[in-house]
């Protein structure tokens, strides 16, 4: 297990039990080292089969370390983060987000919010120091609960973002699958006057990656949009920190478009977003743009660095998760900062924009006229193989040979992975996942078909190169 773009992740079988307690103890020691000596720590989880037991392990470890665990049950990550922030308390979310059901993870929040890279390094050091001597298991108990209270606090926040009745007349589908947002999202959209139809709820866990939506999911969404004549289909990943928005034609409204819509909706002065977000999002939209590496800790650091400039600060990632870096005025009310990924604000911002402008989601996409993006991933692609491939492609001649089917490499951005801009203006971005056996490709081109073709070709070449390495090793 290791820290990646957001939290520590690994196989659920390797995280359950002593390892989850060990990482939680490392977190507890980091809290004490940074001045948070004791008190409440809020714990929540997603709906994976492995999450309840891991959450119990984490709560037992916290109690053994002198903290008071509060069991918030299955709620969205942004709801947990908001509730803990209200109380000046730490928090811990058991979730593997979008990764497969056999994997899981833990996200950590200090009293000030999501932990940073320095915190991650300190926790990793504590884990290494304790690994041979950490006692297990501590005693389990019936912990104090905070499920209804945390949901009520978040519900109050998100039902103040738009005016009453703002979505009246809209027909919306909510793809519920196995996200913890399934019921709350329906409830919130109905509270604004929308006609909402829940679809696709499952009893088994379904991993939904909003940055690489499966063809199966898109086929379902297209069928639902056609059958029910929806204005949009909405959903989120497992822990509801990444939104999924699909337009009236059943086409994906990509995460960076969601982020742009949110930035415009809140009248952002500064936007912080990773290098993987659409290159067409620029100062031309009326805000300053700061680019970072992929991962919410980097976006949060960028937002913090931007605070002295003042104004409204918004961060977002290509997966659609939006981080509010400052308080902002919406619907005549102050909506407080929430510097962690959230799916509810961006969904409401997109729908509010549709309602106020009278334009459909597809029309908004055409209005902004950004380069067309596509992304996909190779699953079960070992981390070692990803690193070997990236090491080889660090050589400019090797990179040019790899990308020869797409033309001549004009320049390369090494902020996070290899982002090559071709002489044609097309972009091919190769990047290993931070903490999962996955290899990702992002592309920009003039059309969806071309961007999709680039991604498919690049990933095939990556797979073939990996297989060739295996044969060479044998």
Exposure string for 408-427, b = 16+ CB within 10 A, e = fewer? ebeeeeebbbbbbbbeeebb
Active-site position among 5, 6, 97, 375: 97
CB atoms within 10 A of CB 108: 24
Burial class for 341, CB neighbours closer than 10 Å (0-12, 13-18, 19+): buried
What is the residue whose two structure tokens read 């939680």?
24
Reported as type and span, the H/E element at residue 215 is: helix 215-228
- List own/partner pairs for 98-102 with CB under 8 A and 24 or more apart: 98/207, 98/208, 98/209, 98/210, 98/211, 98/237, 98/238, 98/242, 98/319, 99/9, 99/207, 99/209, 99/436, 100/207, 100/379, 101/12, 101/48, 101/49, 101/204, 101/205, 101/207, 102/11, 102/12, 102/13
Burial class for 20, CB neighbours closer than 10 Å (0-12, 13-18, 19+): buried
Is 433 designated active site?
no
What are the catalytic residues? 97
């Amino acid at each position: 297990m290791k820290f990646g773009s957001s939290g520590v992740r690994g196989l659920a079988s390797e995280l359950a039990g002593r390892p989850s307690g060990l990482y939680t103890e490392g977190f507890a020691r980091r809290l004490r080292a940074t001045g948070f000596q004791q008190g409440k720590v809020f714990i929540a989880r997603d709906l994976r089969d492995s999450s309840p037991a891991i959450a119990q392990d984490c709560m037992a470890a916290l109690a053994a370390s002198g903290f008071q665990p509060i069991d918030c049950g299955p709620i969205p990550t942004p709801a947990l983060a908001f509730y803990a922030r209200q109380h000046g308390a730490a928090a811990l979310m058991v979730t593997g987000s979008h990764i497969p059901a056999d994997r899981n993870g833990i996200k950590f929040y200090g009293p000030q919010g999501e932990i940073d890279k320095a915190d991650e390094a300190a926790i990793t050091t504590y884990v290494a120091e304790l690994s041979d001597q950490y006692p297990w298991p501590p005693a389990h108990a019936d912990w104090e609960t905070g499920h209804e209270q945390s949901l009520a606090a978040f519900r109050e926040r998100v039902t103040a973002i738009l005016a009453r009745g703002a979505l009246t007349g809209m027909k919306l589908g909510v793809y519920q699958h196995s996200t913890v947002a399934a019921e709350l999202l329906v409830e919130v959209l109905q509270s604004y006057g929308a006609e909402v139809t829940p679809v696709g709820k499952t009893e088994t866990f379904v991993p939904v990656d909003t940055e690489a939506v499966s063809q199966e999911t898109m086929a379902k969404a297209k069928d639902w949009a056609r059958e029910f004549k929806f204005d949009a289909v909405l959903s989120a990943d497992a822990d509801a920190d990444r939104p999924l928005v699909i337009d009236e034609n059943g086409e994906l409204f990509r995460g960076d478009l969601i982020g742009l819509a949110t930035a415009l909706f809140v009248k952002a002065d500064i936007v912080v977003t990773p290098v993987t977000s659409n290159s067409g999002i620029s100062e031309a939209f009326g805000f300053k743009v700061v680019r970072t590496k992929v991962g919410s800790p980097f976006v949060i650091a960028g937002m913090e660095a931007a605070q002295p400039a003042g104004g409204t600060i918004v961060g977002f990632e290509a997966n659609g998760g939006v981080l509010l870096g400052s308080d902002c005025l919406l619907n005549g009310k102050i909506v407080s900062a929430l510097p962690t990924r959230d799916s509810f604000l961006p969904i409401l911002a997109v729908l509010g924009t549709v309602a106020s402008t009278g334009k459909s989601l597809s029309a908004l996409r055409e209005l902004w006229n950004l380069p067309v993006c596509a992304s996909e991933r190779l699953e079960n692609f070992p981390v070692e193989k990803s690193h070997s491939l990236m090491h080889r492609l660090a050589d400019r001649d090797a990179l040019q040979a790899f990308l020869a089917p797409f033309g001549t490499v004009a320049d390369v951005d090494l902020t996070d992975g290899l982002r090559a801009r071709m002489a044609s203006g097309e972009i091919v971005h190769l990047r290993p996942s931070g903490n999962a056996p996955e290899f990702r490709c992002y592309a920009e081109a003039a059309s969806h078909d071309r961007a999709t073709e680039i991604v498919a070709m690049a990933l095939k070449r990556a797979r073939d190169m990996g297989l060739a390495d295996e044969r060479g090793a044998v």
